[in-house]
Chain A
Amino acid sequence: MTTTPVSQQSLIPTNDPTAVTPRPRPGLRAVLRPLPVPGAWPRRLAAGAQAALPLAAALLVWYLLTANDVVLWLRFDKVPGPADVFDTLKGQLTSGSYYQDLLASLRRILLGFGLAAVSGVAIGMAIGRSRVVQALVRPLIEVARPIPAIALVPLAILMFPTGEQGIVFITFFAAFFPVAVSTIHAMKTLPKVWEEAARTMGARRLSVLAHVVLPGAMPGIFSGLSVSMGVAWICVISAEMISGQFGIGYYTWQSYGLLDYSGVVVGMLSIGILGWGTAWLVERLGSRVNRWLPRSAR
């Protein structure tokens, strides 16, 4: 085999109909990267307004129900109204412990979710691609999967040196299964021809895994990650309520203990906003990674 560089001259005579003249494709770039297009800001504002409208409506209903002490089977007379909650929130925003709680929860989420994402993808890939691993590991997963993570609290307290590690473990445990299961599924539905093409070009196992299997499975993996992030929040908050020392779940439970109901609502809303933010991040990252999917499938 020689290593002469490929001739730069096109093989195709200029009058040959095979010569495809490059056509400008207006709009394609714009589809890929919607941000820099002029007019994006008005559109974003409109989208923002659309999201704000139902939230504002919910706020209004909440205000009306609590301000008028409505008792309609559900009793809103004891529920704190938006104004009380806002006051409590203002107090919290100037206290350091609120931020400490937020950060503690975020840290646990990111650790637990991060560990679950990495190991879920790795183990899912191993199960999906190896019959031996499948035979050995799949039964363990199937037995462990139905156990609610919160049922692990007693053992976690017993086994882990610190409560912090226990909470991260519980979060990890809950977040692991959606990722692993969707990765296994993605392995099975990957078109065979991609891998075969890579192998005929001389790709070895690792190269196939890194350059064909993993990117090809990303759409499936990300749908697992979205589910997993939701589950992670549920578990971190529950675990904090039971055994935490800081954290927004701990704060919420603590407020309940002090009969500070507006504190409870501040805690709930904080969880909602943090959960929304992390879900948005996963979504954003997913649509970035899977930009190649046809728009309908994204």
Chain B
Amino acid sequence: MSAGAPVRLEGLRLAFGDMPAAEVDLDVRSGEIVVLLGPSGCGKSTILRALAGLLTPTAGRAEVDGKPVGGSNEACAMVFQEDALLPWRSAARNVEYALKLRGVPRGQRRQEAEELLAQVGLEGFFDHLPGQLSGGMRQRVQLARTLATRPRVMLMDEPFGALDAQTRSEMQQLLISVWRQYGTTILFVTHDVDEAMLLGDRIVLLSPRPAVVREIVDIRSPRRPGAQFEPEFARRRYEILASMGDAPPAELSPEGA
């Protein structure tokens, strides 16, 4: 399977006009899940878009596997929050388009698309249009489509932000199992602390706009099932909220109580 690639952001500055949106230094090891956590509007999407080559930095460098990001960059694939599927193509045909872009010969595309969709739990929905699928299913198709490009880095921009709690937790489990199989590097954006702690090896806390790295939190034994029910989890959660300036007063904290 295509293994992950390291990602390096060095003095990366992004701006709209002369309004700075982000100034980031960050090293991501290959095969790691790094979660970018920050308040809405701080510049998280902007950082991912720069990595995807959709936005040119005003200064600094963004490198994937030692090579600067540019133009259309096949090493990074992006999963968007909104409906980024092509609505006139069925689930299978959406995946087939990604396969076509990867250069898979026409005759093999359908079968490989069906395998990928089966992998994300969409057997029987191959011929459904995105409009006929639920939000969670559409994000599954996006995941399959992204995997079809054999990405070495997956950029995920609040991919589960619009889903209900139950579906979201299903999708988190699915993402973890897919990541275990493919070993891609994942940069995952969210503003949900619990999601960050469930998925990440490391959590990068960003300041409000312009996004600057405030702190990098290492998660000990990441993605351990049931971890969220342990007191340790609550304590870390509180710490993260506190350093984001979002925590209740100290006497209400798990330790104060």
CB of A20 within 8 Å of the partner chain: yes
Q: Are A22 and B171 in contact (CB under 8 A)?
A: no
**How far apart are the CA atoms of A202 and B151 in the complex, in Å?**
11
Within 8 A of A (CB), among B40-72: 49, 52-54, 72
**How far apart are the CA atoms of A212 and B89 in the complex, in Å?**
10
Q: Are A200 and B86 in contact (CB under 8 A)?
A: no
User: Looking at chain A's contact residues, is the secondary structure mostly helix, strand, loop, or mixed?
Assistant: loop
Chain B residues in the interface with A (C-beta under 8 A): 1-2, 49, 52-54, 72-74, 76-78, 80, 82-89, 97-98, 101-102, 112, 115-116, 118-119, 121-125, 128-129, 131-132, 137, 140, 145-147, 149-150, 152, 155, 170-171, 173-174, 177-178, 181
Q: Are B78 and A197 in contact (CB under 8 A)?
A: yes
With CB as the reference atom, state the residue of chain B lying closest to A3: B150
**How far apart are the CA atoms of A23 and B83 in the complex, in Å?**
22
CB of A11 within 8 Å of the partner chain: yes
Q: Spot the interface stretch: A110-118, A141-149, A203-211, A223-231.
A: A203-211
**How far apart are the CA atoms of A1 and B150 in the complex, in Å?**
8
Chain B proximity mask over A27-43: 1 for CB below 8 Å, otherwise 0: 01000000000000000
With CB as the reference atom, state the residue of chain B lying closest to A294: B131
B109 to chain A: closest CB distance in Å? Answer: 12
CB of A2 within 8 Å of the partner chain: yes
The tally of residues in A whose CB lies under 8 Å from a CB in B reads: 43
Q: Are A12 and B177 in contact (CB under 8 A)?
A: yes
A220 to chain B: closest CB distance in Å? Answer: 13
Residues of A within 8 A of B2 (CB): 1-2
With CB as the reference atom, state the residue of chain A lying closest to B115: A6
10 of the cross-chain contacts (CB-CB < 8 Å) are: A20-B125, A22-B123, A25-B132, A191-B82, A193-B83, A194-B84, A197-B78, A202-B73, A218-B88, A293-B87
Q: Are A19 and B121 in contact (CB under 8 A)?
A: yes
Q: Are B121 and A20 in contact (CB under 8 A)?
A: yes
Contact among A200, A212, A291 with B52 in the assembled complex (CB-CB below 8 Å): A200
Residues of B within 8 A of A218 (CB): 88
**How far apart are the CA atoms of A118 and B82 in the complex, in Å?**
32
Q: Are A212 and B101 in contact (CB under 8 A)?
A: no
With CB as the reference atom, state the residue of chain B lying closest to A16: B173
Chain B proximity mask over A157-190: 1 for CB below 8 Å, otherwise 0: 0000000000000000000000000000000000
B157 to chain A: closest CB distance in Å? Answer: 10
Q: Are A193 and B178 in contact (CB under 8 A)?
A: no
Within 8 A of B (CB), among A7-59: 7-8, 10-12, 16-23, 25, 28
With CB as the reference atom, state the residue of chain B lying closest to A6: B115
Residues of B within 8 A of A197 (CB): 78, 80, 84-86
- With A19-B121, A196-B84 given, can you name 20 additional A-B contacts, CB distance below 8 Å? A2-B2, A5-B112, A5-B115, A7-B115, A7-B119, A7-B181, A18-B170, A22-B125, A23-B124, A198-B101, A199-B52, A199-B53, A199-B54, A200-B73, A201-B74, A207-B101, A212-B86, A218-B88, A292-B88, A294-B131
Q: Are B115 and A200 in contact (CB under 8 A)?
A: no
Residues of A within 8 A of B121 (CB): 10, 12, 18-20
B143 to chain A: closest CB distance in Å? Answer: 11
Residues of A within 8 A of B88 (CB): 215-216, 218, 290-292
For the complex of A and B, list the 4 residue pairs with the smallest distance between their C-beta atoms, beginning with the closest. A22-B124, A292-B88, A197-B84, A18-B170
User: Which of A4, A197, A198 gathers the greatest number of chain B CB atoms within 10 Å?
Assistant: A197
With CB as the reference atom, state the residue of chain B lying closest to A24: B124
With CB as the reference atom, state the residue of chain A lying closest to B166: A17
A214 to chain B: closest CB distance in Å? Answer: 10
Contact among B72, B97, B119 with A211 in the assembled complex (CB-CB below 8 Å): B97
**How far apart are the CA atoms of A197 and B145 in the complex, in Å?**
10
Contact among A6, A16, A216 with B86 in the assembled complex (CB-CB below 8 Å): A216
Residues of B within 8 A of A198 (CB): 86, 97, 101
Given A202-B74, A204-B72: A194 and B145 interface contact (C-beta under 8 Å): no
Q: Are B112 and A201 in contact (CB under 8 A)?
A: no
Q: Are B86 and A28 in contact (CB under 8 A)?
A: no
B132 to chain A: closest CB distance in Å? Answer: 6
**How far apart are the CA atoms of A2 and B171 in the complex, in Å?**
26
Q: Are A203 and B86 in contact (CB under 8 A)?
A: no
**How far apart are the CA atoms of A32 and B53 in the complex, in Å?**
38
**How far apart are the CA atoms of A84 and B83 in the complex, in Å?**
61
Q: Are A2 and B1 in contact (CB under 8 A)?
A: yes
B116 to chain A: closest CB distance in Å? Answer: 6
B127 to chain A: closest CB distance in Å? Answer: 9
Q: Are B132 and A200 in contact (CB under 8 A)?
A: no
Contact among B73, B131, B146, B177 with A292 in the assembled complex (CB-CB below 8 Å): B131
Residues of B within 8 A of A207 (CB): 101
With CB as the reference atom, state the residue of chain A lying closest to B134: A20
Q: Are A196 and B170 in contact (CB under 8 A)?
A: no
**How far apart are the CA atoms of A94 and B125 in the complex, in Å?**
56
Q: Are B118 and A194 in contact (CB under 8 A)?
A: no
**How far apart are the CA atoms of A204 and B186 in the complex, in Å?**
24
B1 to chain A: closest CB distance in Å? Answer: 6
